[in-house]
Amino acid sequence: MPRPLTLPVCAVVAAALLIGGAVPAAAQSFKWWQHEKFQRELVLSPEQVTRLEEIFQAAGPAMRTNKAAVDRLQAELSAVVQDARADEATATELIIRVETARGDLGRTRALMLYRMRRVLTSDQYTKLKVLFDEHERSRRGHNRPGPGA
C-alpha cells in the first residue's frame, strides 16, 4: 500500500502543477533562459541565466535516469499487456512500478521548475508565461501543413 504524501511533498507537487500548468510542455523543452529574445524581454541578469542553467544541469542526470526507467518499465508493461499470459498480480506490480517511475520523473521535473521559478521575479514570471504562449503559437504555426498538403 502506498504511503500517504506528507504535507511538504503535497505543497511541492501543488506548486509544480501550478508552475507547469501555466507553461506549455513544448515551451519547457528548450533552454529559454539562453534564448536572446527571452533574456531581453525578461531582462534576465547574467546571474539569473547562470543560476537557471545550474538548476537545469543539476536536474539533468536524475531526469535522464528517471526517463530511462519510465521507458524501460513502459516497454515491459506493453509486452505483458500484449502477451496477456501474466497473472494479474504480476501485471499489477508492473503497473505500480511504471506509475512510481512516472511519479519520480514528474517530481524531479516539478522541483526543477519550482527552483527555476524562484530565480525569477514575479514580473519576470508573468512575462515568461506570455512569452511561452507566443513561442507556442509561433511553433504551432510553423508546423502547420501548407495549402494543398
Contact 12, 114 (CB under 8 A): yes
8-state DSSP, 144: S
pLDDT tens, residue by residue, 89-142:
999 999 999 999 999 999 999 999 999 999 999 999 999 999 989 888 888 887
Residue 9 confidence (pLDDT)? 43
Contact 103, 2 (CB under 8 A): no
pLDDT tens, residue by residue, 49-78:
999 999 999 999 999 999 999 999 999 999
Query: What is the C-alpha to C-alpha distance for residues 132 and 20, in angstroms, rounded to an integer?
Result: 12
Residue 75 confidence (pLDDT)? 96
pTM above 0.85, yes or no: no
In this predicted structure, the answer to whether residue 19 has a pLDDT above a threshold of 60 is: no
Contact 17, 32 (CB under 8 A): no
Q: How many CB atoms lie within 10 A of CB 52?
A: 19
